[in-house]
Structure 1
Amino acid sequence: MGGWQDMAAEELEQQYSPSRWSPRLGPDEVIQAHLTATAAGTQRARAGVQTLLHVPYGDGDGEKLDIYLPTDPSGTFPVLVYIHGGYWQCLRGIYLCGHSAGAHLAAMVLSTDWTEYGVVPDIKGAVLVSGVYDLEPILHTYVNDALHMSREVAQRNSPQLHIALAAPAAAACKVLVAVAQHDSPEFRRQSQEYVLALRAAGWSVSMLDLAGVDHFDIVEKLSEESYILTQVILNMILRT
């Protein structure tokens, strides 16, 4: 079986267009449904907790984050950093959770040599959902029309190519790579190969292949307490 290099341009476009793979709705409809579901979930979350919204962490207009605090924030509590998808366009214990392109960014955090910055963040766990970890195939798709990545840039920013041997502190970080049954074969391949590469480098990593979901509702369902991925994340936080 050939790799992505053997695919025609049209096939690569399809493989890296997640909305074409949902059995629930058409491409345009599933994206709109995802936006509606995540907006509704955000409103429900904001209604039940204290929030600090649109907090800047850089100078750019898009460099803002929303902070959701527990009802009683006086004690110590873990921090979950969620990074949304959208192909990069649209230190108490820290846990990372990223979806799609957000999973790529979370994986890049794991690949960072923090000693260069004089810090050692206490990252206890990372949940990477339907992510892309090798950017080179994307050079040949519509996604790069806006990104204008060169091959050198794609390789430099591919977590798959920058997995360090896990030091004791890194080995203590639990990594979960989740993928949807109805993700494209390329997304599923990338998740599987990233898991193997992390495991070979000594990382504590597991993979969760979720049946009956696509690239979008795999993360939409995180608002449901009984959803298996929600439970896995909560258990990860409680056990570490």
Structure 2
Amino acid sequence: MSGHADGGAIDWETAYDNRAAVPGAGDLPEVWTAAAQRFVAETGIAPEAVAYGPGARNRVHLLRPAGEAAGLAVFIHGGYWMRNGPEMFHHLAAGALARGWAVAMPGYTLCPDASIAGIGREVAAAVERAAERVPGPIRLSGHSAGGHLAARLACAGMLPEGTAERVAGVLSISGLHDLRPLMRTPMNPVLQLDLAMARAESPALREPLPGVPVTAWVGAAELPALRAQARLIAGIWALQGADVCHVEDAGHDHFSVIEALADPESPITRAWLGV
């Protein structure tokens, strides 16, 4: 990722600036929060905030379907590891809930109060705690930085063996899979990545869990860097023998790409749940 296809140098100010690339993106946190609150009010499905650690944000929000759950569907929120929270995305659980899955949405300490490596450990602990409460297969997903974290959990050694054996699929939506380019962006004073951590925490540079299907999903209208990140994980994990699918979702930008998770019949929900 040292240059564009036309040979020009990358503008690191804008290469990963999704909010600048999408008109109206600054309003989305309020839009998402309102949609999440409306979903809870209209359905009566009250998320349970389950503590998994001592930190103020060490809570995993657990939403349960009517009846026995088919398994545990995990959605990890994005925000470049430095903003947002699970309470903004409860409405995106609608598709999985309608198909009978329990949905876990981990909160985590944000940068710079935690490192990206520390956030990965927190999310692993959150998934472990949710998995203790919901039996059956586990389907990991996440968006943007959450896509990175979902893919990171799908790397060998991140989850306890018993939990890792339950992982039945991974959906990284617009994920960051090689963190080294982010060291050059204006975000790095907050992210505090150095080369050693960027290498260690890049899923593309790690070994995937054996036998677990992975989907790298990205909007076709996203920034070139994000589309390249999806192609990268699909290609490099396929070379390691993983079952990887790469999808460019036509017409969708970095933020609209997650909207269809609320639809139980959408292709992205089906990819998440393996149906």
Normalising by the smaller structure, the TM-score range is 0.7 to 0.9
Residue 108 of structure 2 is aligned to residue 65 of structure 1:
no
1:21 maps to which residue? Answer: 21
Cα deviation for residue 197 of structure 1 reads: 0.9
- Please tell me whether the aligned partners of residues 215 and 271 of structure 2 are also in contact (alpha carbons under 8 angstroms): no
* Residue of structure 2 aligned with 1:203, choices 231, 237, 242: 242
Q: Which residue, out of 51, 66, 81, partners 2:74?
A: 81
Give 1:120 shift.
4.4
Residue 204 of structure 1: how far off its partner (Å)? 1.1
Measured on the aligned residues, the alpha-carbon RMSD in Å equals 2.4
Offset, 1:226: 4.7
Other structure's SS at 2:14 match: helix
- Mark the CA change 1:78 to 1:18 in structure 2 (over 3 Å): closer, same or farther: same
| 2:196 counterpart of 1:152 | yes
Retained in 2: the 8 A contact 1:49–1:71? no
Q: Tell me how far apart the structure 2 counterparts of residues 222 and 118 of structure 1 sit (CA, whole Å).
A: 29
What residue in structure 1 maps to residue 89 of structure 2?
none
Q: Which moved more, 1:217-226 or 1:11-20?
A: 217-226
Q: What percentage of residue pairs aligned between the two structures are identical?
A: 27
User: CA deviation digits over 1:65-84, x for unaligned, max 9?
Assistant: 11100122xx3521101000
Instruction: From 172, 175, 200, give the equivalent of 1:128.
Output: 172
Q: Do the aligned residues in 1 keep the contact of 2:177 with 2:230 (CA within 8 Å)? A: yes
Matched residue, 2:260:
221
Name the structure 2 match of 1:7.
9
Could you say if the C-alpha distance between residues 224 and 146 of structure 1 is closer, same or farther in structure 2, counting changes exceeding 3 Å?
same
Q: Flag the 1:204–1:49 CA change in 2: closer, same or farther, 3 A.
A: farther
Is 2:162 the counterpart of 1:119?
yes
CA distance in 2, matches of 1:158, 1:128: 13
Question: Secondary structure at the residue paired with 1:12?
Answer: coil
Structure-2 separation of matches of 1:86 and 1:231 = 24
Q: TM-score, normalised by structure 1?
A: 0.82
What amino acid sits opposite 1:64 in the alignment? R
What is the Cα deviation at residue 208 of structure 1?
1.2
Q: 1:174 to 1:31 in 2, by over 3 A?
A: farther
- Supply the distance in 2 between the matched residues of 1:16 and 1:44 (Cα, whole angstroms): 31
Return 5+ residue gaps in structure 1 as ranges.
Answer: none
Whichever residue aligns with residue 18 of structure 1, its letter is N
Per-residue deviation, residues 34-58 of structure 1 (Å, max 9, x unmatched): 2234223322442425434322111
Please list every run of 5 or more consecutive structure 2 residues that lacks an aligned counterpart in the other structure: 84-134
